[in-house]
Chains A and B, each alone.
Chain A
Amino acid sequence: MANTLKFGNGEWYGKKDTILAYNDENNNYKPLPFDFSRASSATRVNKAGLIETVGSGEPRIDFKDNTKGALLLEPSRTNLITNSNNLTTWNGAAMTRTFVDDLINPSSVLGGSKLTQTSSGGYAWLSRTFTGNETFSAFVKKDSSNFARLYAANNTVYFDIVNGTIETEVGSDITDKSIIDYGNGWFRVSMSVNSTAASYVRIYPASSGSSSSGTNSLFVYGTQLEQGSYATSYIPTSGSAVTRLADACNNGGNEQVINSTEGVFYAEVENSSPSTSTRGWVLQSSLNNGSDLISIRFNSSQLINMYLRANSVTTINVNVSNTYNGFIKIALKYKSGENSLWINGVEVHSNSTTFSFSNSLSNLSNYDGLGNYGYFNIKDTKLYNTALTDNELQKLTTI
């Protein structure tokens, strides 16, 4: 057994337009560069825990709750809020909005907004005609209020911004909601809706987990409204809507480190975003056209999918239930007649399907040539050139 490709696991080597996997068999280090691209700037959480902007083409290693870092691969998204951090430009209903220059926010730059209710139930708002799946998010920090309330398309969610919990939600269009601790009292709260209503987004200081009555205040930084079913990394705006372009990480490895006859494809990836499209991390031929590939995928129903195409025929396409949270360890063993899928130390599927690739597998990519992009956070990836034993697979994937 040989571990022929290593990628990540705390060892990240990247610069503009490339990021390295490597082979270190026999202590002989050989770099295996990916082509990395993203035509725009983007933000990430750096080692210090601060949100920072990185330039176009630079791979983003994100350290949010993760000292080893994870490669952040995201789709293109647009922040439709034109002044994301200065809420004095928003409308107010019984609400004063002030910009606080010296507020220590979650980025490396000072400044943020303070919302103060001037009479009971006041809020800051913007109008919006929703277009389907959209996600509204904001970084919030307590002032006199220990709770925050988000409102989008006639739906609302209350958050406890001291204990970091989701409280009451009201509305039938809510498809997802989250609260994430960014440290120093800041939480990123988000709610996703599926709606076409002509309505509003609003932010309220709240007096409890189910009421925004009273006259309270809270701090706000980095609001974002994006078309999509989950919140992506923050896109700052000041005067216009802004689009972050998609990340692409392709053509890693080669035929020498990828065995097309048998092997194990292992990845530790984040399983937290309810995407409406299929996402895959793919071993494929140099044709990059979907003819021959092996993919670890999450499909649009959020199921985990073991997928293999040989000679342009889908040979294995098996869904397994997805009851996991956060990062999961997945290993896909492939060998004609002996295939299996392991997740977090447990074999969740096996089959005896036979296959033979018409073109050798020669690269690792986040695009499969079939319209599916692997947009998720990747903490670790390993390739082995032999089919591991069950004991080895269990050990490899145990959290």
Chain B
Amino acid sequence: MRIAKYEFDSREAAQSKIDALGTATDEDGNQYPTHKSTIVQLGNIVLEQGEYDEDGEEVTAPVLSEGWHIDVCWNDADITTIEQEAVLDEDGMIVTPEVTSVDHPYGWKTYAVDIEGNGVHSFFGLDYESHKI
């Protein structure tokens, strides 16, 4: 399991990438994802808080990011590529172990952002720095 943070140009651009991870349709016609990762859409995140009066009326609007932000907790299966198959001997014992690599799924790396700390969102008990790709 690895964590990554992304900033897309728009919500639509983000959704397009998410859909490309794989979907299927159930008997009732509802689409569901076939990948096993957890995607949290943060949207246009607040860069500067707004100001409000006593009644909650906005005095100064918050400053939002232009980009559409997403945090992903990637399931290993969705980001692991087998570079070289394991080599086994006649008895099935490993001669050369499998070689794998972990990276952002195809087309995602361009939108990856790296930050210090957890930022505006985290996964419960999982520190971003320790788990990032």
Residues of A within 8 A of B (CB): 39-42, 53, 55-56, 76, 78, 82, 91, 93-94, 125, 127, 200, 235, 240-246, 314, 370-372
Contact = CB atoms under 8 A, between A and B. Distances in A.
Contact of A40 (B32, B75, B121, B126): B126
B121 A370 contact: no
A56 B131 CA distance: 13
B55 interface: yes
A7 B30 CA distance: 32
B73 A39 contact: yes
A371 B32 contact: yes
B40 interface: yes
B125 A125 contact: no
Contact of B40 (A39, A243, A246, A314): A243
A384 B102 CA distance: 44
Contacts of B75: 39
Contact of B1 (A39, A53, A246): A39
A53 B42 CA distance: 24
A266 B59 CA distance: 58
A288 to B, nearest CB: 12
Contacts of A243: 38, 40, 71, 73, 121-124
B83 interface: no
B125 A94 contact: no
A282 to B, nearest CB: 14
A386 B74 CA distance: 42
Contact of B126 (A56, A78, A370, A371): A56
Give the size range of B's interface with the partner: 20 to 34
B120 A241 contact: yes
Contacts of B120: 82, 240-241
B26 interface: yes
15 contacts: A39-B126, A40-B124, A56-B126, A82-B120, A127-B52, A240-B122, A241-B42, A241-B121, A242-B122, A243-B71, A243-B121, A243-B124, A244-B124, A245-B124, A371-B24
A55 B125 CA distance: 7
Nearest to B34: A371
Nearest to B1: A39
Contacts of B71: 243
The CB with the most chain A CB atoms within 10 A, among B42, B55, B122, B125, is that of B125
B56 interface: yes
A314 B118 CA distance: 45
Contacts, number: 71
B119 interface: yes
A366 to B, nearest CB: 14
Contact of A245 (B24, B73, B119): B73
Nearest to B118: A240
Nearest to A129: B43
Interface in B70-129: 71, 73, 75, 118-126
Nearest to B52: A91
Contacts of A127: 50, 52, 56
B56 A200 contact: yes
A295 to B, nearest CB: 12
B54 interface: yes
A93 B56 contact: yes
A41 B30 CA distance: 30
Which are the 9 A-B pairs with shortest beta-carbon distances? A41-B125, A371-B32, A40-B124, A41-B124, A241-B121, A39-B1, A244-B124, A371-B26, A40-B123
A54 B121 CA distance: 20
A245 B56 contact: no
Contacts of A314: 27
A124 B120 CA distance: 22
Contacts of A235: 124
A219 to B, nearest CB: 23
A82 B119 CA distance: 11
